[in-house]
């Protein structure tokens, strides 16, 4: 068993709520285990004898509430000091990326390097006081606060350097920004013309449950109206996802086939072919599958997941050979795998798609944060940047197909259920976060587009109050900030 001691030194409620807490094994792949409170300790019973790490949403003084993790540790009777172990892993992350990015002697890094040294010194002081756990925790908290600030500044510095290089080489001459329209349809031509000032394309949802509510009934009116309005606004079009097997997407009539994979496969193939044939002349980019690795009401096997992925990509390529085919990864840190090992860790799924020769043009990546649900806890910018770098190693272009964060907290939800970044979520915090992550993503030469989700607030959104527009279609500060940021980016001006 692993035990982690917490010390409430400044009024923070510790141990924190364990929503989103999970264990990690080799290569940061989640592993199964039980995690519980016991007075001031967190106790973890992993279903493996190998060393594991604890990942949880942790309150960091003067920074916010963010998902952090320890290094992988062996079980022992004596509790680990959780504050120290979280700081240890953070400093390790900073050191690894600093070396990988070649920033140890890079001009302009001096002040950030000083902050990193300050965090390291505080951590060392914590180790030196290990016989006084509360004192060690206090020094570790300082290391976390300073270290996260330094990590964020280092990520922004790295992004700024490469964003400038991409500007100089004309990297933003092609369409690169988009927004996801509501699943309920959006046929507001005037609003879309205003949106066209910010984005180059819109993503039009294709929810199977809405398109085919009965086995013999098809409804395309909402999609047709949305496409007409978007075309009138001279916006590019991305469709999908075509296949999602979550409970909000699968038609009710499909459940009769839940134990018959061949019937499900045939219905899915017919659905993909029907949609792509209908819209092949207007839609040039398709998200063919989304989240097959993470959730399915039918409990598919590994082989069945791969078979559905291959089918959706190949059918789309056959029907519309010139279209762009994307495969979308959701919950990219794979927390769900610790709960349900019928699923596939996201990076393993992505690697298997590449290795098995599936014909597709790039990966889509969801970066949705701030919801109090599994997989949506806040990650710091360095974690996001490092994840994008990992996906680049697969050798495929990358598209951030859903980037979102809330502009407030829906009534009835805890204020920090999904994490906080510097302050509780607000219009201003949302705007700052979206600009920060969009810059990090587009600084990577292999990231081709970024799509914000959702365009407008809606009651059924994954991220409550996550839109760029309010329900009455007036722009939020995030829309205005992003519009100005895009203008400077295209013009080639320094930030």
Domains in the chain: boundaries: 2-163, 170-491
pLDDT of 460 reads 67
User: Which tens digits make up the pLDDT trace of 230-251?
Assistant: 999 999 999 999 999 999 999 9
Q: Which residue has the tokens 């079009």?
A: 237
User: Which tens digits make up the pLDDT trace of 94-133?
Assistant: 999 999 999 999 999 999 999 999 999 999 999 999 999 9
CB-count burial class (<10 Å; 0-12, 13-18, 19+) for 459: exposed
CB 422 within 8 A of CB 430: no
pLDDT of 493 reads 45
Q: How high does pLDDT run on average in the chain? A: 94
Q: What is the C-alpha separation between 347 and 430, in angstroms, rounded?
A: 28
Q: What is the C-alpha separation between 51 and 271, in angstroms, rounded?
A: 45
pLDDT of 408 reads 87
User: Which tens digits make up the pLDDT trace of 329-369?
Assistant: 999 999 999 999 899 999 999 999 999 999 999 999 999 99
Residue 415, pLDDT > 80, answer no
pLDDT of 407 reads 93
Residue 52, pLDDT > 70, answer yes
CB 325 within 8 A of CB 360: yes
For the beta carbon of residue 253, count every other beta carbon within 10 angstroms: 15
Which range (168-182, 312-326, 370-384, 405-419) has the least confidence?
Answer: 405-419
CB 327 within 8 A of CB 364: yes
Decide: helix, strand or coil at residue 237.
strand
Q: Is the pTM of this model over 0.75?
A: yes
Q: What is the C-alpha separation between 304 and 313, in angstroms, rounded?
A: 14
pLDDT of 187 reads 87
Residue 481, pLDDT > 80, answer yes
Q: What is the C-alpha separation between 381 and 334, in angstroms, rounded?
A: 18
Residue 51, pLDDT > 70, answer yes
Residue 495, pLDDT > 50, answer no
pLDDT of 491 reads 86
Average pLDDT of span 394-423: 84
Tell which wins on pLDDT, 154 or 14.
Answer: 154
- Angle made by CA atoms 16, 21, 27, in degrees to the nearest 5: 135
Class of domain 170-491: alpha beta
Beta strand 447-452 with 420-421 is unpaired
CB 20 within 8 A of CB 67: yes
CB-count burial class (<10 Å; 0-12, 13-18, 19+) for 310: middle
pLDDT > 70 fraction of the chain, expressed in percent and rounded: 98
pLDDT of 223 reads 96
pLDDT of 416 reads 62
pLDDT of 494 reads 41
User: Which tens digits make up the pLDDT trace of 164-210?
Assistant: 999 988 889 899 999 999 988 898 888 999 999 999 999 999 999 99
Closest alpha carbon to 120 in 152, 88, 149, 97: 88
């Amino acid at each position: 068993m692993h035990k982690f001691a917490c010390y409430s030194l400044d009024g923070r409620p510790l141990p924190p709520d364990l929503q989103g807490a999970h264990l990690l094994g080799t290569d940061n792949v989640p592993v199964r285990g039980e995690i519980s409170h016991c007075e001031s300790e967190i106790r973890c019973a992993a279903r493996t004898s190998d060393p594991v790490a604890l990942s949880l949403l942790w309150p960091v003084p003067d920074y916010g509430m963010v998902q952090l993790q320890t290094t992988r540790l062996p079980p022992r009777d004596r509790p680990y000091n959780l504050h120290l172990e979280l700081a240890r892993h953070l400093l390790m992350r900073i050191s690894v990326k600093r070396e990988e990015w070649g920033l140890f002697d890079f001009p302009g890094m001096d002040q950030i390097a000083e902050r990193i040294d300050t965090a390291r010194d505080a951590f060392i002081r914590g180790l030196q006081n290990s016989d006084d756990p509360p004192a060690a925790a206090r020094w570790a908290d300082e290391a976390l606060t300073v270290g996260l600030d330094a990590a964020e500044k280092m990520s922004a510095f790295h992004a700024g350097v490469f964003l400038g290089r991409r500007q100089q080489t004309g990297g933003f001459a092609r369409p690169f920004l988009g927004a996801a329209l509501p699943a309920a349809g959006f046929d507001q031509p005037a609003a879309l013309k205003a949106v066209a000032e910010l984005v180059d394309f819109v993503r039009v949802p294709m929810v199977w449950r809405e398109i085919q509510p009965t086995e013999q009934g098809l409804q395309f009116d909402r999609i047709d109206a949305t496409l007409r309005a978007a075309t009138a606004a001279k916006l590019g079009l991305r469709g999908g996802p075509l296949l999602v097997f979550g409970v909000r997407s699968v038609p009710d009539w499909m459940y009769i086939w839940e134990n018959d994979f061949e019937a499900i496969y045939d219905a899915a193939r017919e659905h993909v072919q029907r949609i792509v044939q209908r819209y092949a002349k207007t839609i040039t980019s398709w998200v063919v599958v989304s989240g097959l690795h993470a959730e399915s009401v039918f409990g598919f096997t590994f082989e069945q997941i791969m078979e559905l992925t291959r089918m959706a990509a190949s059918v789309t390529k056959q029907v519309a050979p010139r279209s762009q085919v994307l495969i979308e990864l959701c919950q990219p840190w794979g927390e769900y795998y610790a709960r349900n090992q019928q699923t596939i860790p996201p990076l393993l799924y992505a690697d298997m798609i590449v290795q098995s020769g599936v014909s597709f043009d790039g990966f889509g990546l969801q970066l949705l944060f701030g919801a109090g649900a599994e997989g949506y806890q806040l990650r710091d910018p360095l974690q996001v940047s490092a994840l994008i770098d990992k996906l680049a190693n697969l050798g495929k272009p990358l598209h951030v197909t859903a980037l979102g964060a809330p502009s407030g907290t829906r009534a009835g939800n805890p204020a920090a259920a999904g994490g906080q970044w510097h302050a509780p979520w607000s219009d201003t915090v949302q705007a700052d976060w979206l600009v920060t992550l969009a810059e990090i993503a587009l600084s990577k030469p292999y990231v081709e587009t970024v799509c914000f989700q959702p365009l407008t607030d809606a009651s059924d959104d994954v991220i409550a109050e996550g839109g760029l527009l309010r329900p009455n279609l007036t722009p939020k500060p995030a829309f205005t900030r992003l519009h100005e940021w895009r203008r400077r980016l295209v013009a080639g001006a320094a930030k």
